[in-house]
Every structure is written in C-alpha cells, then in structure tokens.
Chains A and B, each alone.
Chain A
Amino acid sequence: MATIGDRASQTREPNVTTAPGARVLTPPARSRPSTPAEQEVGTVQVWPHLLVIEFLGALIITINLILLSALFNGPFLDLANPDKTPNPSKAPWYFLNLQELLLHMNSALAGVIVPTVALILIAIIPYIDRGTKGLGVWWYSERGPKIAIFTAIYTTVVVMALIFLDKYFPLKANFSTWLTTGDIAQNGQSGVLSFLTEFASGILGGKNPELAHANALGILVEAIVGWTIPTICFLLFPTLLVILLKRVFKGIDLTEIIIGLFTGFVTVYLVLTFVGTAMRGTSMDLYPPWALPPNQEG
C-alpha cells in the first residue's frame, strides 16, 4: 500500500515543469539519492527528534520568563505629563544607538538616513555575496572568527575614540568659534575660518549684514559638523577597515570582507546601545557606567 508517508514514495522525483522556455531543474543523476537507505543517511525523523527539542526549548523559555516576571517588575513611572520633561529623555534601549548618533550629527542623518541605509545594505547582502560556499557552516572559513574579532576590536576602538573626541574636542563649539566673524565695534575676534562665513553671507545677501552672518554661520556649522564630517566618518572608517583586513589577512575574499563589515555593523550597534544606555546621564552628558547619575524630573 503506497501512501504518501511511505518511504518508497519519498524518493519519487517531484514534478518538474517542462513548459516551453521554463528552466528544467534536473540535478545530475549521481547527486540524487537513489535508494531510501541512501536518502536517510544522516537524517532523523522530525517526530520525535526535533519535536522534543522544540518542546523542551519552549519549556525552558517559559520557565525562565516566569522566574524573570516573578522576580523583577517592569518599570512603571508616574502618569505621563507633557509639562515635565525628564532629564535625560531616552528612547527605548534598542533605539539608543540612534539617539547616540543624534548627539553628534544632524538629526535627519542620524535618525532617518543612517538606519535606512544600514537596513538596505543588510538586506542586499545576499545579492552582493553570491557565492555558494559556506552555506550552513559557521564562520565560512577558519579565518572567519579571527576577522570578526579583529573587526570587533577595531570598531569598538574607533567608535569610542570618536565619542570621546566629540566630548573633549567638541566639533560644533570649535567650528562655531572658527567660523565666527569678528565684530570690530565690540572688539571681537574673527575665527580662522571666518572668510567662509563672509563668503556665504555674501551669497545669502540681505540688508542686515549681522543677520546674514548669523544665518551663514548656522548653515555652515550644520553643513560641516552635522553632515560633512559624519558622512566622511561613515565612509572613511569602513573603507579603512577593508584596507586593514586586506593587509592583515592576505588573500581575503569578498565573503570575508562582508563578514568584517557585518561584524562592524553589529559592533557599532552594540557599542552605541551600551553607551546610550549606561553612559549617558543628565543632559545626555558622558559618564562612566559606574557613576551614572539617576534620572531627574525636569
């Protein structure tokens, strides 16, 4: 009696479309397991082998969640009050990486463009790395873990360095000083880059030169600190990573470079989330994680 569950029927070939123009998917004869015994080598029945694992997994997760929920209460603060802004106001932890970016660049770049571009780049990975090698194998090659560790260290150092740079050498404040045009009547000093502001305010025109200067200053600072420098960083440091990977790991291939870049993304995500969660206190200032001040009501 040949029913669907019969072993013999499992080896039957599926229907293959042979309509005109259709690609006929027929593997070379040798690769096809021909006997039930050959097909079953290394396989087990889903009932019970996989179902037991799934059942135990569900059980373990449920028990852990029950314990977690019994021991720790979720946060629940006072009634929402639009007039009382807590200091700092933080997004949910998984968005704190974006909020961290927000502190260093234009909000459109940090909050919209960077996450969108990052997600698109991740989504198209399979269409860039089109090889078939490494399917279903951890780390692709022996060098895989080494590349990942190297990238994780490199990325952590770069990200932390950039965060500290912006704290001890605040770009916005510095560029504002450099771009300021001096007011001779008030004995003010001109910044080294004031000619740029003069030039830009000339383009902007207007009858009030002071207003034009102020506008030009605002636009220039935002263009340089908010857009140009961060964009350069986003392009420069991954490029530098690829160059370093090529130097350190001779004969690195495309897949390994993409492993590096993906690891870089994951590291940036984790490091920025950590900094945003554990190192940003009052007024989103940088604190060591062990000295983070408690949240203040505004």
Chain B
Amino acid sequence: MATRSLGDQGPQVPTPKDLYQRLPGVIRRPLHSLNVVGKRTWEDVSGSIVRNGWPRSVRGRSLAVMNSIFLHLHPIRTRSDAIKMTYTFGLGGISFFLFLLLTLTGVLLMFYYIPSTTQAWQTMNDIKNLQPFGWFLRNMHRWAAHAMVITVFFHMCRVFFTGSFRAPRQFNWVIGVILLVLTFLLSYTGYLLPWDQLALWAVTVGVNMVGSTPPPAVGDFVKFMLIGDYQVGQNALIRFYTLHVVALPLVLSIFLAVHFWRIRKDGFSRGLTFTSRIMEHVDTRSAGAKAAGKQK
C-alpha cells in the first residue's frame, strides 16, 4: 500500500505565518520587538485546535480520525467493498445528514416562529414573505423532512435486503425501527406548526386515528393527552411544538448515538471487524436447538 495518497499534500493555502511575513515593516517590526509572534506561534495555535496537523502518513491519517471528536466514530480502516455506493447507497448517512440540516434550518426558523394559534400562521407568512431567505429556509426544512422520511424507510429496506440485521446486530435493527417511528413522529408533529388548513386537518385526521385506540375510554384518554383538548387547538399546537423542537429530537439523538455506537462496535455488516469475526464462530442457536443437536 502506498504511504502517500490523495490529499496528503494538504490544502495549499498561505499560513498566517506567510501572511505575517508579508506585512509592511511598520507593523511587523514593533510586533517582532515585543516578541508577541514567536517562531512557533502558528504551530502552537493550530496545534492547540486540531490535535494533529494535516495527515501526511498512514499513522497521521489514523491519528486524524482517532483524535477528532467528529471523526472518531469511524474506524481507522474499513473494508473497501463495504464503502461501495452500490452496497449501502449511503442511505443511513444521508438520513443523518438530513437530520443535521433539519436541525440547522429548524433552529433558524425558531427565531421567527411563535407557536400560538393567533400568531403562528402570521409568523409563517412573514418567514415566507418578509424575512430575508425565510422562504428558502422554510422550503429547505420542509423538503428535507419529506426526504428524511423516504431515506430512513429505504435505509430500513437496504438493511433488510442485505441481511445486515443478523447477529450480532439484532438489537441495532430494533433501534432502527424505533428511529423510523421517531422520524414519522417528528415529521408529523412538525406538520401542525404552520397552522394552515392543511396542517390543522391533516393532524386532526391523524389524531382521530390515535383516538380510536381500543377500548374507547383509553382512546379518548390518549387523544386528550396528545392534544390537551377535545379538538386540535392551542394546547395541541404547544404540545406538538415542544415535542417537535425539543423532546423528539432529544430522544432521537440518544437512539441515534446508540445506533451509531452499535454499528461501530458490531462492525460494518460487510466489513470483518474483530467482533464480527468472533460472532461467526459463536453458536447462535437456541439452547433447545443445541440440545437437540440440530444442524446449524
């Protein structure tokens, strides 16, 4: 394997040291005499931000992944056939990226939106028509939400049809089903927030479905807990808003963390990590099947 590969040179941009050298002497000389900018200042600063410089070797690239909080969920090495696009189509990653985009656009929308039946529609209208790029933010949030429902669903199909739910990943599949439900709930609670005719009646249909939980007393209770009233109104709006912007994203994030953690620990379904190599040799039959001496 080549020790140097694509990108080892690093981005070719002038460092602050180069820029400093180009400063006019009038500014550079007094700074120099004060000894503010030492020989290693730039390295000291950049080294304090990123633990490693731009990686230029196998070891450096390993450390770059391991020593970054954003990258350390990745393994150091991975099977080349596991990262082929035609294997996963990147659906899980795309779903996660959409979740990040939705968080970003959602937070920006929250600066303008007021969850009140008298003001919600008006603030939405203002976001669309008055706030700079408000229409764009809102469109992006909406389309990304629809896209996320689709990618999460297809991610589930991909995992099923590649048999990636098999041991030792059984429970991660269960977590995935929970994440699918949470995605539906997030999208559904967000549906009410514009407080237009589409929102009100779509949510009313859904709430009535929940309200039909048998027996009727339980159904009525569940429905009342969900919307805080006998019909969709202010109480429903504030409940859906709280669920949409705080509660559900929080719960989803926790399950997401476990989901990713388990992928890392159980190994990529097409990779052969230590754990999955062990599991290949562990007898996954039930105790009864073992006793009966059935063929594996």
Contact = CB atoms under 8 A, between A and B. Distances in A.
Interface in B186-226: 187-188, 191, 194-202, 204-206, 208-210, 212-214, 219
A31 B196 contact: no
Nearest to A44: B80
Given A5-B63, A80-B200, A262-B160, A98 B165 contact: no
A47 B55 contact: yes
Nearest to B85: A53
Contacts of B143: 65, 68-69, 72, 74
A134 B163 contact: yes
A231 to B, nearest CB: 13
Interface in B142-156: 142-144, 146-147, 149, 156
Interface in A45-92: 45-54, 57-58, 61-62, 65-66, 68-70, 72-82, 84-86, 89-92
A137 B163 contact: yes
B290 interface: no
A42 B79 contact: yes
B185 to A, nearest CB: 11
Nearest to A4: B66
B202 A48 contact: no
A131 B165 CA distance: 10
Contacts of A206: none
Interface stretch (B17-25, B29-37, B42-50, B90-98): B90-98
Contacts of A74: 138-139, 142-143
Interface residues of A, number: 92
B90 A53 contact: yes
B1 to A, nearest CB: 7
Nearest to B98: A61
Contacts of A50: 74, 78, 83
Interface residues of B, number: 107
Contacts of B128: 73, 76
A171 interface: no
B167 interface: yes
Contacts of A54: 90, 93
A40 B62 CA distance: 13
B63 A81 contact: no
Contacts of B257: none
B263 interface: no
A80 B139 contact: no
Interface of A: 3-7, 10, 14, 25-28, 31-32, 40, 42-54, 57-58, 61-62, 65-66, 68-70, 72-82, 84-86, 89-95, 98-99, 102, 106-108, 110-113, 119, 122-123, 125-127, 129-140, 144, 148, 255, 259, 262, 266, 297
